């Protein structure tokens, strides 16, 4: 992988012509070792891959700081922090500027630096947002310590390979202002997606506990929900495969937590041995009896038609006029639905909690009329479309930023 060695980036604002200069970090950053000795700062920061420095409780849900934080390092606004601890995709740590307008503290394990100016700190933040740039810069600096730990000293960090950066203040500012606009857009879309997901979660709870009801097309109340056993609204579907030894068969699996179906590598009938397998048909409720208790349940689609599954993946089809397939799937993916799946899965933890199909079919649930079920499904489909649209916009913006940075720091 190539290091950034270009005196002129592939993408640049046209008014700037001066060559970029090769600089070591020691020419840009100065380590400061300010400690919180008087406990004047109470906020503990964590460092996230995308968001950068963030309140630890907001980020992790709780504080992992010691009771005594007087020895923690102080991080002022615009300081640059190197975490040294591995994060997904960044095995030697991440490098971020404190873009918050407040001072906090971080673990003594982190290295904290004051940049030459705000823009230089931001440029480093953007440069090292690429795992490739970060890896290429840090890997030559790694020292293997006791117990095979990977260590990078603070002095070594500052004395690594030179990277090419703009030295004109005006160019630094124009680049960072533009990239900040993109980051703000990413933050807005991320927040919008999170809010939609929270709304969906909250409204799901209200609908499936009947705290929120829909009206029919005439504005009138739908009928009261009625109690049904699963057996009365779902029919077991089973179509055994007459296995041919030389034929190829593609088996399916189901991810937990409502994450859907995955397809396995095709194998010959001979490889299946004595395993009993069944043809998959589309538009069936299907679950993994071993992990049903953690919501390994979904519906089949046309993509799975012609594939096979073992007896551990029973399929059911809803009775017409009584049950909507998408509705019952929505229900089982709620906390209440998970409780029902757990009730039908007696035993200890993990693989001992196998769903009993007879217990599953005996479960009794309250169901709205088929018309109200359809209205509920339509409502959730609309929310899901909105979430998918925002997520698509978010990914497009992230990819745009990634492509931009690759041309800027080529």
Q: How far apart, in whole angstroms, are the C-alpha atoms of residue 160 and residue 17?
A: 27
Buried/exposed code over 264-292 (b: 16+ C-beta within 10 A; e: otherwise): eeeeebeebeeeebbbbbeebbbbbbbbb
Q: Which of 197, 194, 189 is nearest to 398 (CA)?
A: 189
Pairing mode of beta strands 45-48, 52-55: antiparallel
Q: Are 236 and 314 in contact (CB under 8 A)?
A: yes
**What's the pLDDT tens digit per position in 273-299?**
999 999 999 999 999 999 999 999 999
Which sequence spans correspond to the domains of the chain? 21-165, 166-217+369-410, 226-367
Q: What is the pLDDT of residue 379?
A: 97
User: Could you say which residues of the chain have pLDDT below 70?
Assistant: 1-6, 59-65, 144-150, 348-351, 410
| 260, two tokens | 């859907």
Q: Are 105 and 75 in contact (CB under 8 A)?
A: yes
Distances (CA, A) of 46 to 51, 95, 109: 10, 12, 12
Asked if 21-165 and 226-367 have one fold, the answer is: yes
Token pair 């979904």 in the structure block, residue: 298
| 113, two tokens | 């630096």
| Burial grade of 19 (CB within 10 A; 0-12, 13-18, 19 or more) | exposed
Q: Which of 241, 232, 248, 345 is nearest to 287 (CA)?
A: 345
Q: Which residues are bridge partners to 52 per DSSP?
A: 48
Q: What is the pLDDT of residue 321?
A: 94
Q: Which residues are bridge partners to 248 per DSSP?
A: 268
Q: How far apart, in whole angstroms, are the C-alpha atoms of residue 111 and residue 91?
A: 16
Q: How far apart, in whole angstroms, are the C-alpha atoms of residue 248 and residue 237?
A: 23
**What's the pLDDT tens digit per position in 227-241?**
999 999 999 999 999
Q: How far apart, in whole angstroms, are the C-alpha atoms of residue 68 and residue 81?
A: 21
| Burial grade of 374 (CB within 10 A; 0-12, 13-18, 19 or more) | middle
| 184, two tokens | 């703000």
Q: Are 268 and 248 in contact (CB under 8 A)?
A: yes
Q: Indicate the SS3 state at residue 215.
A: strand
| 399, two tokens | 């990819």
Q: Are 368 and 225 in contact (CB under 8 A)?
A: yes
Q: Of the CATH numbers 3.50.50.60, 3.90.220.20, 3.20.20.70, 3.40.50.980, which one belongs to the domain with range 226-367?
A: 3.90.220.20
Q: What is the pLDDT of residue 241?
A: 97
Q: What Rg value do the Cα atoms of the chain yield, rounded?
A: 28
CA triple 305-307-309, angle to 5 deg: 120
Q: How far apart, in whole angstroms, are the C-alpha atoms of residue 245 and residue 329?
A: 35
Question: How many other CB atoms are there within 10 angstroms of residue 337's CB atom?
Answer: 21
Q: Are 273 and 265 in contact (CB under 8 A)?
A: no
Architecture of the domain made up of 21-165? Alpha-Beta Complex (3.90)
Q: What's the pTM? A: 0.83
Q: Any idea of the CA torsion for 3, 6, 11, 15, to the nearest 10 degrees?
A: 150
Q: Which of 227, 232, 225 is nearest to 361 (CA)?
A: 232
Architecture of the domain made up of 166-217+369-410? Orthogonal Bundle (1.10)
Q: Which residues are bridge partners to 23 per DSSP?
A: 163
């Amino acid at each position: 992988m190539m290091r950034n060695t270009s005196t002129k980036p592939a993408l640049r604002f046209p008014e700037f012509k001066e060559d970029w200069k090769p600089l070591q970090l020691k020419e840009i950053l100065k380590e400061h070792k300010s400690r919180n000795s008087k406990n004047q700062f109470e906020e503990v920061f964590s460092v996230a891959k995308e968001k950068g420095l963030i309140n630890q409780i907001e980020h992790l849900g709780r504080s992992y700081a010691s009771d005594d934080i007087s020895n923690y390092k102080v991080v002022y606004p615009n300081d640059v922090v190197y975490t040294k601890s591995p994060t997904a995709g960044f095995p030697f740590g991440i490098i971020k500027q404190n873009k918050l307008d407040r001072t906090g503290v971080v673990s003594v394990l982190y290295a904290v630096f004051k940049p030459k100016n705000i823009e230089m700190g931001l440029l480093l933040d953007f440069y090292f947002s690429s795992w490739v740039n970060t890896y290429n810069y840090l890997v030559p600096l790694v020292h293997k310590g006791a117990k095979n730990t990977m260590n990078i000293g603070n002095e070594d960090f500052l004395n690594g390979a030179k990277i090419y950066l703009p030295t004109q203040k005006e160019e630094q500012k124009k680049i960072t202002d533009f990239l900040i606009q993109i980051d703000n857009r990413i933050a807005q879309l991320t927040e919008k997606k999170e809010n939609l997901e929270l709304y969906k979660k909250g409204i799901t709870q209200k609908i499936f506990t009947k705290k929120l009801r829909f009206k029919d097309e005439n504005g009138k109340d739908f009928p009261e929900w009625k109690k049904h056993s699963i057996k009365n609204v779902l029919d077991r579907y089973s179509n055994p495969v007459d296995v041919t030894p030389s034929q190829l068969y593609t088996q399916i699996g189901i991810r937990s937590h409502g994450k859907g179906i995955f397809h396995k590598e095709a194998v010959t009938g001979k490889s299946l041995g004595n395993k009993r397998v069944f043809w998959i048909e589309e538009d069936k409720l299907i679950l993994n009896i071993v992990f049903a208790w953690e919501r390994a349940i979904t519906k089949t689609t046309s993509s799975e038609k012609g594939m096979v599954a073992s007896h551990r993946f029973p399929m059911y089809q809803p009775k017409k006029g009584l049950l909507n397939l998408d509705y019952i799937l929505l229900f089982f993916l709620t906390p209440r639905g998970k409780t029902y799946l757990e009730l039908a899965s007696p035993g200890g933890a993990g693989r001992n909690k196998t769903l009993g199909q007879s217990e599953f079919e005996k479960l009794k649930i309250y169901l709205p009329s088929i018309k109200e079920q359809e209205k509920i499904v339509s409502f959730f489909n609309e929310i899901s479309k909105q979430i998918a649209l925002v997520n698509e916009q978010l990914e497009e913006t992230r990819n745009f930023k990634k492509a931009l940075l690759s041309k800027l720091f080529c």
